[in-house]
Structure 1
Amino acid sequence: MHKFYFEKMEVWNNARVLVKEIYTTTSSFPDNEKFGITNQIRRASTSITANIAEGMSRQTDKEKSRFINISFSSCIEVINFLIISNDLGFLDNTDYEQLRTKTESISNQLNALHKTLNSSI
């Protein structure tokens, strides 16, 4: 089976699982949030994976680092929407804690990758 480099990365695979969990969890959000928080948190989570994939296709470590930084920022955006969703009662505390922990772990992996890429610039 052919695989691109990003598909072999633990951080991309962890983010991919997070996307699925975000989609599953947000399917129970109120219908009137379909184009609000539901859309925003889904877009932010898919942005994590998309920027890892795009970044790893770039030629230089500087370019790769820039996309990994964007992916990290998307993690922070997801955390923001998790907090707001919990505050509004769309997420119970168990789902909130589980998703936040996974997102923080991915952000830590991205931060380490960013540092590694920057050390070679």
Structure 2
Amino acid sequence: MRDFKELKVWKKSHELCLLIYDVTKQFPNEEKFGIVSQIRRASVSVPTNISEGCGHDSNNEFKRYLRIASGSISEVEYLLILSKDLNYISNEQWSNLSDEVISIKKMLFNLVKAIV
């Protein structure tokens, strides 16, 4: 069994999740059940699926959960683009968050490749 708290990708995705929660506090109230809910759920899904995958003994199961996390981080990526285009976040916020997303995507991809 793996300890998810030791994985750099889990730590980074947890930090991104916290940032997403913070930045979405400024979104319009009418987005509470729209983009805010969707991007928060997607960002939570990344470290959650990494954690859940670590709880399985099988490498194949672990990889399956990492792939689900990869899908969720891509969802976050799109929702950040949408948020920028709707002027809910600044270009600077988008750039910083996008850099984190890309880093996590690469880490997940490389971790899946490294698991035999």
- 1:116, CA displacement in angstroms? 1.2
Instruction: Note the C-alpha offset of 1:59.
Output: 1.1
Q: CA deviation at 1:11?
A: 0.6
Aligned pairs for 1:76-115 within 5 A: 76-115=74-113
Corresponding residue of 1:57:
55
* Displaced runs of 4 or more, over 3 A: none
Output the CA distance in 1 between the equivalents of 2:99 and 2:86.
Answer: 19
Q: What is the aligned partner in structure 2 of residue 6 from structure 1? A: 4
Letter in 2 for 1:101: D
- Give aligned-pair identity as a percent: 37
- In the other structure, the counterpart of 1:75 is 73
Q: CA RMSD in A?
A: 0.8
Match of 1:45 in 2: 43
d(CA) in 2 for partners of 1:73 and 1:108?
Answer: 12
Distance of 2:105 and 2:53 partners within structure 1: 15
* One-letter code aligned to 1:47: S
Equivalent residue letter for 1:95: Q
Aligned counterpart for 2:19 among listed residues 18, 21, 26: 21
Once residues 72 and 35 of structure 1 are traced to their aligned partners in structure 2, the CA distance between those partners, rounded to angstroms, is 23
> Number of residue pairs matched?
115
Q: Distance in 2 between matches of 1:72 and 1:56?
A: 15
Q: Which runs of 5+ in 1 are unaligned?
A: none
3-state secondary structure, aligned to 1:89? coil
